[in-house]
Structure 1
Amino acid sequence: MFIMTHEIKRQWRPLLIFALALSFVLAVVVVMYPSMAEDMGGLMSLVDGLGMFTDALNLDISQLNSLIGFYGMEMEIMVGIAGALYAAYLGISLLSKEESRHTAEFLLSHPVKRQRIYLEKAAALIVLLTLFNIIIYIIAYLSIMASGQSVPLVAFSLLHGASLLLQLNIGLLCFGISAFLSNESIGLGMGIALLLYFFSLFANIWQELAWLRFITPFQYAFAADILKNEHLDLGLIVIVFGTCLIVTFAGLFHYSKRDIAS
């Protein structure tokens, strides 16, 4: 477990800073809601006027009348995208940085199998993203209580649970892909996250591209659907996550066989 704990120790400071930054944004959203609720009609008219963008973002205007609906929309836009990019960064860099920073020779000189290196770094990725989301969850909920407001705990937890699954999906996908790379390629990881996001938007706008919903994790993290159905789309999660796990295990097989640049 040395490799996993080492990675967690190296990453916890930037993780904490980023988690606190996003938590602050959500806290501001919570504090602002009572004043915005007084003019919610104007906000709903503004959102309704977005037209095609309302469909693309899968926004339910009627849900903006409640704190959980407004919170879910803001969280989806800010934490959803920012969290996905952070997950992509971790996923694409945790493994491939050993080659790009020329530390692979030192790491592989130890009596440890490549499979163990790969799996422990994947475990570190899972732990880091889980901690990242726990911090945001706790601070956001405390902010709601401190402001004297309330939200349904189940719905609140489902929103954050979907965000965690989204980040794990993208993080593990990028991690599996990184096993085929000889450098960190952070731009590639970011590009994959953004591409999957746009796939989700395209699937919402054009019926001909509806099949894209089965390859992008953003589709099961839409706040409007979660709050309306009061549960996550487990079938879609299994399909999308299944593809991600295939790539992850393909990366494990390839990493155990390939030549590693020192």
Structure 2
Amino acid sequence: MLLGREFRRNLKGLVIWSIIMAGIILMYLSIYPEFAKSQQGMEEMMNTLPEGMKKAFGMDRLSMGSLLGFYGIEIHLMTTLLGSIFASLLASNIVAKEQHEKTIEFLLSKPITRSSIITQKLAAVVINVLLFNVVIVAASLLGFQFSKDNDVSLETFFLLESAVLLMHLTFASVSFLFSAMLKRTRSVVSMSLGLVFITYFFSIISGVSDHLTWLKYVSPFKYAEAAAIISDRYFDPLYISIMGAVIVCCALFAYWYYSKKNITV
């Protein structure tokens, strides 16, 4: 079964990335109690930072003195950026590698349709991204226990993590489309990672400059911004709709293009 094969082939990468991410989360949350003891000094230090920097990273709306505020400032960047890189790398290789490794003719010689190939490979991507996000949530909930004053609103936390998951799936879907369209894995990986870093840059710029706030609409990082979700306890339906539309459109276009693609090795 192709789905099982793809899952086994990507299992090592999933485990490595999950261990790294869980380690980062637990490390940061383990030192939070020491940060909390010097809350006043931390607040004074943050007040010395430029307003643009504080606004770009949500420090103007979140407090390092609260556990969830600390999570949103220090850890959320890691879960979004590293998670998006993981999702993009996974999806960008999964289809294009068949041509790059010259295994596509063997695969198509089996009683399997192109539609089934795309379906099972897409399912493998979704399963891996879901499992990776389960690790993020589990490590975070475990790390919260390091703090005696555990005042985390689980409803807000899960709202934040649902935004992170949706963002990871957005990058994965775009990278999956690139993988279905292109032949060379190096080109697909470059485009996918370039998209992640460019949109991350856009999210920072949109927070710093009042004249470039429109850039937030082309950056999933802004859609899953911790400051807005934690402070307002609200995940904008517009952002949900945009990411949902991107995911569905990329998947459908990948099906359509791959079914008509001239596959040569």
TM-score, L = length of structure 2: 0.91
Counterparts in 2 of 1:76 and 1:89: CA distance versus 1, 3 Å: same
Per-residue CA shift, 1:94-135, capped at 9, x if unaligned?
111111111111111112111111121111111100001102
| 1:261 and 2:241 are equivalent in the alignment | no
2:36 match: 37
CA distance in 2, matches of 1:187, 1:193: 10
AA paired with 1:70? Answer: F
Displacement of 1:13 in angstroms is 2.1
Displacement of 1:245 in angstroms is 2.6
RMSD: 1.8
2:230 match: 227
CA distance in 2, matches of 1:45, 1:115: 58
Counterparts in 2 of 1:28 and 1:212: CA distance versus 1, 3 Å: same
Q: Which runs of 5+ in 1 are unaligned?
A: none
1:213 match: 216
1:66 match: 66
**Of the candidates 241, 245, 253, which is equivalent to residue 250 of structure 1?**
253
Contact preservation (8 Å) 1:76, 1:221:
no
Bigger mean CA deviation after superposition, 212-221 or 96-105: 212-221
Residue aligned with 1:179, SS: helix
Per-residue CA shift, 1:139-167, capped at 9, x if unaligned?
22123225545222112212222211111
- How do residues 6-155 of structure 1 correspond to structure 2 at under 5 angstroms? 6-48=5-47, 49-60=49-60, 62-145=62-145, 147-150=147-150, 151-155=152-156
Residue aligned with 1:21, SS: helix
Displacement of 1:205 in angstroms is 2.4
AA paired with 2:19? Answer: L
CA distance in 2, matches of 1:191, 1:35: 37
Displacement of 1:46 in angstroms is 3.2
Per-residue CA shift, 1:182-221, capped at 9, x if unaligned?
0113222111111111122222223333222222211121
Per-residue CA shift, 1:57-96, capped at 9, x if unaligned?
2333542220111012222221211111111101211111
Identity %: 29
Contact preservation (8 Å) 1:162, 1:221:
yes
Counterparts in 2 of 1:146 and 1:54: CA distance versus 1, 3 Å: closer
How many residues matched?
261
Counterparts in 2 of 1:46 and 1:260: CA distance versus 1, 3 Å: farther
CA distance in 2, matches of 1:154, 1:4: 33
CA distance in 2, matches of 1:218, 1:13: 27
Contact preservation (8 Å) 1:44, 1:61:
no
